[in-house]
Amino acid sequence: MPRIGVLTSGGDAPGMNAAIRATVRCGTDAGFTMLGIARGYAGLIEGDVLPLDNRAVGGIIERGGTMLRSARSPEFMESSGQQRALATLQQHSIDGLIVIGGNGSLRGAQWLNEQGVPTVGMPASIDNDIPGSRMAIGVDSALNTVVDCLNRLRDTAVAHERAFVVEVMGRKSGYIALMGGLAGGAEIILLPEHPVSLDRVADIVKRGLDLGKRHSIIVVAEGFSPKGSTMASVSPARAIATRLSELGLVETRLTILGHLQRGGSPTAFDRILASRFGRASVSAFLENDPAVMLSYDGCGIVPRPFSTLDAPCENVDQAILDLADTVAH
């Protein structure tokens, strides 16, 4: 009876619990002994292993976060930590591992696989920045949170004729900003992939004012960098709010959504996607192919080699950005 471990690592994402639940129950149905590793790679290093059966994962599909908890683990980047992690797997007779997380977590899964540990990676990242997968667990839930916040902010923006600069997550990928901004009716969307100057942002706001629009919603990915800006010590969103205030074009407010985007109950889409990923992770072991990163291609779950992580992520679509700009005014 193979013993399969499951861990969640890196930033939490709504739907991780649904993935754990499906993985454990599909694994149990396949005859595996399922084990959870608490606190990601940190727990793997420290030997924080617990048994998981069908009852242990009951009542978690609707919960955000992760019942296994998560943690960043700089120690796992060092040889001593890596050797302790391998020792834990050996000590608990763990035959294979399922890793649920983002880019860094999947890189860890790749390394384990290269050490001879059968490992399957499952993408979970609200930034949707994982190469080879059109959607990751948690993205849809985060987008719905962003859109809800934009809806609420627009009420105040219209009532007081203000511009709201709204910073959303996305250090390297502007997917949340793009899709959330489009769905939330933002006038301006600023992405790491498409830098523009602060003067250009001001010109767009002014154009809207000239057209009779007395309010604006400006969605900024946290990784956006304005062209030619000298405000290196100031966040891009704050720099934009400061510039608009200095120009006196419109009363401006800054809102940083931060970790609000991570929390909350996962949407139906994320619960279903996570469940499909969970089943596919167990199938990889049943089919003797436990050296893959699972991905969603828009239709189904497909296995890809871990080397896919070396490719650029192409989930930010220029055509969608053009659409958002067209319908903004």
- How would you list the strands of the sheet with 119-123, edge to edge? 49-52, 33-37, 3-8, 96-101, 119-123, 291-296, 301-304
Which residue in the list 12, 48, 127, 129 is annotated as catalytic? 127
What CA–CA distance (Å, rounded) separates 186 from 127?
Answer: 19
In degrees rounded to 5, what are phi and psi of residue 82?
-60, -40
What CA–CA distance (Å, rounded) separates 282 from 289?
Answer: 10
Look up 127 and say whether it is catalytic.
Answer: yes
Burial of residue 130, with CB atoms counted within 10 A of its CB: 0-12 exposed, 13-18 middle, 19 or more buried: buried
Angle of the 268-286 helix axis to the 139-160 helix axis, nearest 10: 160
What CA–CA distance (Å, rounded) separates 18 from 67?
Answer: 10
Place of tokens 């920045």: 129
For residue 71, give the nearest of 35, 45, 33 by alpha carbon: 45
Q: In this structure, which amino acid lies at residue 92? A: H
Catalytic residues: 127
